[in-house]
Chain A
């Protein structure tokens, strides 16, 4: 089973700043089958990025994904107030689609 480790656990930033979230896999993620989700309190998650770098429909271009192999990054170029939430990465290339433990992005 591929284990995903996200860092940091909590990230404190101000609106307008740049956020960089990391997701590291215990083994190579095949064909960059890596996704990022955003979850706000009391809501279901929302798909942001798939295929490591493709934005889902309706996702603003301030969200970008990069990486391959075992190291992946979600970058939010300029934080808006609505971006403060919990972010999860998920690999879906193996038969078991494991999630990372999440990074909480909070307002500083």
Chain B
């Protein structure tokens, strides 16, 4: 069974930093592209970033480019999101999400339960 468990969320002040982690199990982590998707309270889904299986391809939404860094450690079956220069508008539940199939072009097939990041003074 595919399992994705996020951690690292919490309360942080504007301008601060936070590192999210996602522990993956139940599949061959190194074979799949991974994503971060966020959802502000009461709002819709926003794609944040994606990384290919070998980290060769990395993409960011314009809203986070230059502030967030996605990475993965295939030996540890883990996905990360380093978030710097945080703003109030970054407040959201952050979901770790796995591609449906092998390859770069894929929808999100599996989702974690999310971790809440709150940016407030």
Contacts A44-B112, A50-B100: A96 and B45 contacting too (C-beta < 8 A)? no
A99 & B46 in contact (Cβ 8 Å cutoff): yes
Asked if A35 lies at the interface with its beta carbon under 8 angstroms from chain B, I say yes
Nearest-neighbor residue (CB-CB) of B47 within chain A: A97
B107 & A90 in contact (Cβ 8 Å cutoff): yes
Interface residue count for A (Cβ, 8 Å)?
Answer: 25
Nearest-neighbor residue (CB-CB) of B65 within chain A: A96
Contacts A35-B107, A47-B109: A97 and B35 contacting too (C-beta < 8 A)? yes
**What 1/0 flags go to A56-69 for Cβ under 8 Å of B?**
10000000000000
Residues on the A chain within 8 Å of B112, using CB: 44
A92 & B45 in contact (Cβ 8 Å cutoff): no
Asked if B53 lies at the interface with its beta carbon under 8 angstroms from chain A, I say no
Could you pull out 12 A-B pairs where Cβ atoms are within 8 angstroms? A33-B107, A44-B95, A56-B100, A56-B109, A90-B47, A90-B107, A96-B59, A96-B61, A96-B62, A97-B47, A97-B108, A99-B46
Give me the interface of B with A, judged by CB distance under 8 Å.
Answer: 35, 37, 44-47, 50, 57, 59-62, 95, 100, 105-109, 111-114
Give me the interface of A with B, judged by CB distance under 8 Å.
Answer: 1, 31, 33, 35, 37, 39, 44-47, 50, 56, 86, 88, 90, 92-93, 95-102
**A-B contact sample (19 more), CB < 8 A, given A47-B109, A88-B44, A92-B105:** A33-B107, A37-B108, A44-B113, A45-B45, A45-B108, A45-B111, A46-B111, A50-B100, A50-B107, A90-B108, A92-B106, A92-B107, A95-B57, A95-B59, A96-B60, A97-B35, A97-B107, A99-B37, A100-B44
